[in-house]
């Protein structure tokens, strides 16, 4: 998103009065969203149904909410319970000559996108990028996956889903509650009535939907850029003030996290999915550089040697895991007893 786009997004979350001028365009946008949803609901368009469970993790708003850390948590949680999960992504910010694209150790972020690169590094599960999500889903099935996680797939209706999870930034909520371009919403708030679960990242400073689950993003380790070995959070592996770069949906969240760790920060915010240049990461004073894992996916070979990555992990409340386990068990029972899908494996649990 450009600098102008970032200023518009800030205004949308703050409820700037001048956005009322854009409400006629909002009406057109909402009508287009409704027509598209109706086309799938009425059968004029058909969503492809995978033979295994599909979990969609998305959001209603533009800007970062913390959904990718939740995707990483889901992948690890499912793998611990005997599933073979795979992650499906649109690959925003990347460009490939051939899809579906399986992300391996050599795939650059410029080709697959920063978030898929990060998720592949963090989870070790198959990650496939494809603008055509059904096609990408079939590639994950061919890779042996028996449950799929569609990252940022809420609005991609061509792929049928069994569970829809919406992640909300607790600090920003739904902004002024208006749809594009008069507000930050991709879909009207009424869409929440049809999703399966809402997860609020951080303390909610808005009226959270009833039944929403809480989640925090907890810093867990430092690592030197280009080195997979983790270091303890405290004390930090560097001294004095540091330059901090963040090209994420809400850079302030990263800077605030660093401050809670006692790190003195010289902040350098960038637009979400920013494509860094080496000169943007080189500072004359020679101070250490710190960044998010998402930024690190793009900065290999660009950043100076004294560069560090803060690793964070999603920590949903325990009630969310209990709820998710019950929903997956219900899906398994439905698939095997009342509405079987060809090739759907039973829900498995490690003893």
Asked if residue 245 and residue 188 are part of one domain, the reply reads: no
Domain count along the chain: 2
Same domain, 64 and 196: yes
8 Å CB contact between 180 and 62 = yes
Per-residue confidence in pLDDT tens, the chain, 351 aa: 566 778 898 899 999 999 999 999 999 999 999 999 999 999 999 999 999 999 999 999 998 899 999 999 999 999 999 999 999 999 988 999 999 999 999 999 999 999 999 999 999 999 999 999 999 999 999 999 999 999 999 999 999 999 999 999 999 999 999 999 999 999 999 999 999 999 999 999 999 999 999 999 999 999 999 887 899 999 999 988 999 999 998 899 999 999 999 999 999 999 888 999 999 999 999 999 999 999 999 998 899 999 999 999 999 999 999 999 999 999 987 765 545 554 444 344 332
Residue 348 lies in a domain: no
Q: Which residue carries 């915010």 as its tokens?
A: 269
Cα 206 off chain centre by: 21
- Whether 138 and 246 map to the same domain: the answer is no
pLDDT value, residue 344: 45
Instruction: Output the pLDDT for position 335.
Output: 63
Residues 6+ apart with CB under 8 A from 312: 69, 217, 218, 219, 220, 257, 292, 293
Residue 39 within a domain: yes
pLDDT of amino acid 90: 92
Residues 197 and 95 in one domain: yes
> Would residue 133 count as lying in a domain?
yes
For residue 282, the model assigns a pLDDT of: 93
Global model pTM greater than 0.95: no
Q: Distance from CA of residue 204 to its chain's centroid?
A: 19
Residue 39 tokens, joined? 């086309």
- 3-class DSSP assignment, residue 159: strand
Is residue 285 assigned to a domain? yes
Other beta carbons within 10 Å of 135: 16
DSSP state of 166: E
pLDDT of residue 6: 80
Give the residue numbers spanning the domain of 14.
3-215+316-338
Residues 7 and 65 in one domain: yes
Give residue for tokens 């995978």. Answer: 50
Q: Residue 347 domain-assigned?
A: no
Instruction: Say if 242 falls within a structural domain.
Output: yes
281 and 271 housed in the same domain: yes
Domain co-membership, 163 together with 249: no
The per-residue pLDDT for 141 is 98
21 within domain boundaries: yes
- CATH number of the domain at 210, please: 3.40.50
Q: Are 115 and 262 part of one and the same domain?
A: no
The answer to whether the Cα torsion of 92, 96, 101, 103 is positive or negative is negative
Residue 209 forms part of a structural domain? yes
Q: Are residues 116 and 263 in the same domain?
A: no
Indicate whether 229 and 211 sit together in one domain. Answer: no
Instruction: Looking at the structure, tell me whether residues 128 and 27 fall in a common domain.
Output: yes
Does 234 lie in the same domain as 290?
Answer: yes
């Amino acid at each position: 998103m450009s600098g102008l786009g970032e200023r518009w997004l800030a205004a949308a979350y703050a409820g700037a009065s001048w956005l009322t001028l854009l409400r006629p365009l909002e009406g057109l946008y909402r009508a287009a969203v409704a027509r598209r949803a109706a086309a799938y609901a009425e059968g004029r368009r058909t969503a492809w149904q995978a033979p295994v469970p599909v979990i969609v993790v998305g959001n209603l708003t533009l800007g970062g909410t913390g959904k990718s850390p939740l995707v990483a948590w889901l992948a690890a949680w499912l793998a611990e319970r005997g599933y073979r999960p795979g992650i499906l992504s649109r690959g925003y910010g990347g460009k490939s000559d051939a899809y579906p694209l399986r992300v391996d150790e050599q795939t650059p972020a410029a080709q697959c996108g920063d978030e898929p690169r990060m998720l592949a590094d963090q989870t070790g599960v198959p990650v496939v990028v494809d603008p055509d999500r059904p096609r990408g889903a079939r590639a994950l099935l061919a890779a042996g996956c028996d449950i799929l996680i569609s990252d940022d797939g809420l609005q991609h209706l061509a792929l049928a889903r069994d569970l829809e999870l919406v992640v909300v930034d607790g600090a920003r909520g739904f902004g002024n509650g208006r749809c594009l371009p008069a507000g930050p919403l991709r879909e009207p708030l009424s869409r929440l009535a049809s999703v399966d679960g809402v997860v609020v990242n951080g303390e909610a400073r808005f009226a959270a939907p009833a039944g929403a689950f809480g989640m925090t993003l907890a810093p867990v380790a430092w690592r030197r850029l280009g080195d997979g070995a983790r270091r303890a959070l405290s004390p930090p592996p560097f001294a004095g003030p540091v330059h901090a770069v963040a090209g994420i949906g809400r850079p302030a969240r990263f800077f605030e996290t660093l401050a809670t760790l006692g790190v003195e920060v010289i902040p350098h915010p960038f637009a979400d999915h920013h494509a860094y240049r080496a000169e943007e990461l080189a500072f004359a004073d020679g101070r250490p550089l710190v960044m998010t894992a998402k930024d690190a996916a793009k900065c290999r070979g660009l950043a100076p040697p004294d560069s560090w990555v803060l690793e964070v992990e999603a920590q949903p409340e325990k009630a969310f895991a209990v709820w998710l386990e019950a929903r997956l068990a219900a899906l398994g029972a439905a698939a095997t007893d009342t509405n079987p899908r060809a090739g759907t494996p039973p829900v498995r649990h490690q003893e």
